[in-house]
Amino acid sequence: MSNIQVSLNKIKKEIESVGITDNIALSEDENSVVIIDQVKIPNTLEYKTIDDLESAYQAIKKLEVRGAPAIGIFAGYTMYILSKKDEGLSYEDFYKNFKANKEYLNSSRPTAVNLSWALNRMESVVTENKDKEVSCIVEKLKEEALAIHNEDIEMCCRICEYGLSLLKDGDGVLTHCNAGPLATSYGTAQGPFLLAKARGMNIRVFADETRPLLQGARLTSFELSRAGVDVTLICDNMASIVMKNGWINACFVGCDRIAANGDVANKIGTSGVAILAKHYGIPVYSLGPTSTIDMNCPDGDHIKIELRDPDEIRNMWYEKPMAPADVKCYNPSFDVTDHTLLSGIVTEKGIVYPPFDVNLKKLFDEDH
């Protein structure tokens, strides 16, 4: 375990000076959740208001809000605004509706563990306060939702500092998909690049476009170029040549779920990047909060992989189809990177090195 001193307020100010950090928030009247609609980026930076269960479900399903930590924050706020509508019910009816809303929202995306993690936290507030007035429970749900968000900000700041400690001025880093402030609160895998920019360090970032939904092209390159980071967009199948050219010193990727043995589920294509990096002797780090570590999941074989609409491959970005309308398509949203391909896992508690099955367990044992 590697530990360094982290000044949270200083890091917050540094990242706020270069990055988008208002991607999810409660509305002023606290009756809705306001998000940046990530589907509209990079052409439009548009805020969207969510005030009912179905809109919240669709916002997650359609990737208007995405990124494991961001989904968790969004889920917390959503359960709070929905609970406000049931404030006049008896506890039994209130909990019945809460449970139904929770289960439906949880079904929107199965792979990212932060969704179920945040929803379970919110449910614990309800069950642990069943002897109190419903209005009191609703207020406590608000406090818990805010705590989830504030904890993520703190975790991101720590992860950014730890991640940046792995880099030196002038390094080239390859990243896949998007794990910046849009996908979190202040950023995990892309956060160190923003922090480097704020501190005057020159980090050269190569961003995979991330087919088929182009999160790297639409979101990562948008965030980094907007912040003034030296970013070069490449197609996914160009990762090997930039590594061979000697332009990459490390690979930083996010994580949607980490198994107890260190296997990492992340955006489809991540495992391919790790395999290439292994060939070229380049270290690979997964960056994410401990909330994405599922110690009840023994290994990557036990992680359920979300399958998405085949039309995302056939005709997502063009007026005319990119493939025959009747061709079969396989469209998994995530893949699992074997722990043997990882050099380290960067969390808010420090950098975890192999053996991951031993050291991840130590990470949680230290909490008790």
- Residue 361 counted as domain residue: yes
Q: Note whether 199 and 216 are same-domain residues.
A: yes
Cα–Cα distance, 198 to 259 (Å, whole number): 33
pTM of the model: 0.91
* Structure confidence at residue 319 (pLDDT): 79
* Structure confidence at residue 113 (pLDDT): 84
- Of the residues 156, 174, 207, the one at which a domain ends: 156
Q: Note whether 214 and 298 are same-domain residues.
A: yes
* Structure confidence at residue 238 (pLDDT): 98
- Residue 3 counted as domain residue: no
Q: Note whether 91 and 20 are same-domain residues.
A: yes
Pairing of strands 257-259, 230-234: unpaired
* Structure confidence at residue 2 (pLDDT): 47
Pairing of strands 284-287, 350-352: unpaired
Residue ranges of the chain whose pLDDT lies below 50: 1-2
- Residue 221 counted as domain residue: yes
* Structure confidence at residue 368 (pLDDT): 52
DSSP-derived 3-state class of residue 181: coil
| Sign of the Cα pseudo-torsion (84, 86, 92, 95, in order) | negative
Q: Among 152, 208, 236, 256, which one carries the catalytic annotation?
A: 256
* Structure confidence at residue 332 (pLDDT): 97
Cα–Cα distance, 156 to 166 (Å, whole number): 16
Cα–Cα distance, 267 to 177 (Å, whole number): 6
- Of the residues 124, 156, 188, the one at which a domain ends: 156
Q: Is 169 a catalytic residue?
A: no
Cα–Cα distance, 322 to 325 (Å, whole number): 9
Task: Report yes or no: 258 and 264 within 8 Å, Cβ to Cβ.
Answer: yes
Q: Note whether 299 and 336 are same-domain residues.
A: yes
Query: How many structural domains are present in the chain?
Result: 2
Q: What is the CATH number for 70? A: 1.20.120.420
- Of the residues 113, 137, 156, the one at which a domain ends: 156
Q: Note whether 187 and 152 are same-domain residues.
A: no
* Structure confidence at residue 236 (pLDDT): 98
Q: Which domain holds residue 18?
A: 8-156
- Residue 336 counted as domain residue: yes
Q: What is the CATH number for 238? A: 3.40.50.10470
Nearest one of 307, 289, 303 to 261, comparing CA atoms? 303
Cα–Cα distance, 217 to 210 (Å, whole number): 7
- Residue 1 counted as domain residue: no
